[in-house]
Amino acid sequence: MRNLSWCTVSLTAVAVTSVLVAYLLGGSLDPTARDPDIDLTTVELIAKYGYPAESHTVVSEDGYILTLHRIPFGKKSPGKTKRQPVFLQHGIVSSSVDWVIMGPEKSLGYVLADAGYDVWLGNSRGNVWSSKHVTLHPSSAEFWNFSWHEMGIYDLTAITDYILRRTGQEKLSFIGYSMGATMFFAMASEKPEYNKNFNVMIALTPAMYIKYCISPMPKMFAIAGKQLEWLSNLFGVYQILPHTSLFTFIGRHFCSDGAVTQPICMNILKLNMALNNKETNTSALPLILGHAPAGASIKTFQHFGQNINSGEFRKYDYGEEKNRIVYGSLIPPKYDVSKITVPVAIMYAQNDIVTDPRDVAKTKEALPNVIAYLKVKDEEFTHADFAWAINAKSLVYEDILRLLRKY
């Protein structure tokens, strides 16, 4: 069985049992529900809502072909004046669409563009928009031999260089969501010369320390990482949660308004994607599943699982024998976060099952230059809400705008 996961299996179970449930309850599966935004790419979505949209290609030092999406200005701030670039990096198994999927006034990409910023949206290697390499084929094990470490030291450095060169600016601002923040911290500690290129780094629910994570997918790798790695090599499966038509089908037919199975769908997504009943627009579930998940390497989840077990922010653990060759020690070294000199603002949520407040507090204490430490005022706010919450603008994005204006 290829590319299976907790979320895939759970949602497939919904599809298999939903017909029977609908029959017993006398309800409908709502097979005609269709949001046209489901079928649009990130650039097409941006253009549909009247914003300028661009697609750019960046090649990393180690050969990965990365796609960047850009909103150079907003509808409320048109013109050709030179604007401050802001780079947004999504979390694991996500893509650039996360920053625009909820539409104008509700998605951070549009909010920043309308506030006068030049908005750049990243796509991490291995996701649906960055799945090519100059020499390696995506079916090979070599292609998928990376985690967020390589995404940080190779992808973010190449993207930073590209944005500054393209815009002619000396610095940019960075917003990293979950793994996006992890990538930045790896880069800024391993490539400290890049610290000077950033005005400020805003870490949304940063996944640097994740000892107390209880989200099913990373926790599964913490518990059975070696066994899952063995199975991965046995079956030649190195990618996890690629986007397929199955997710789109399930979202459209079983999670839409009017479908009797929508509550089941919501509960499964709440468990796997850390959704919040109060802040989730259930009408948007088919749209979300039309674009997410977007794929990641198994090694990326394995790396997070290792850090859950160690309770530290460490490099990838290859096992004692290979660690001795790669690192010169039996255990992988910790990242030297004392080298991170960029001003860092941290935003976190009390109800987060991925980055527990205790882990975020450890992140705050470890970093040398934290200039803001903000808890979302809604006590029920959780991990996915930073991207998809109904009230994300008032609860999160307005604070981001204040920080950007200050730094």
Asked if 291 is an active-site residue, the reply is no
Round to whole Å and give the CA distance between 203 and 234.
37
Round to whole Å and give the CA distance between 159 and 151.
10
Which listed residue (60, 95, 96, 178) is catalytic?
178
Non-local (6+) Cβ contacts of 120 within 8 A are 68, 69, 70, 85, 86, 87, 88, 159, 163, 172
Asked if 178 is an active-site residue, the reply is yes
Q: What is the number of residues in the chain?
A: 407
Measure Cα distances from 152 to 159, 200, 286 in Å. Answer: 10, 17, 31
Which listed residue (114, 118, 317, 352) is catalytic?
352
- b/e per residue 346-376 (b: at least 16 CB within 10 A): bbbbebbbbbbeebbebbbebbeebbbeeeb
Which listed residue (90, 243, 303, 383) is catalytic?
383
Q: Both tokens of residue 6?
A: 């907790």
Asked if 245 is an active-site residue, the reply is no
Phi-psi region of 105 (alpha: psi -120 to 50; beta: other; left: phi over 0): left
Q: Both tokens of residue 127?
A: 């996701």
Q: Active-site residue numbers? A: 178, 352, 383
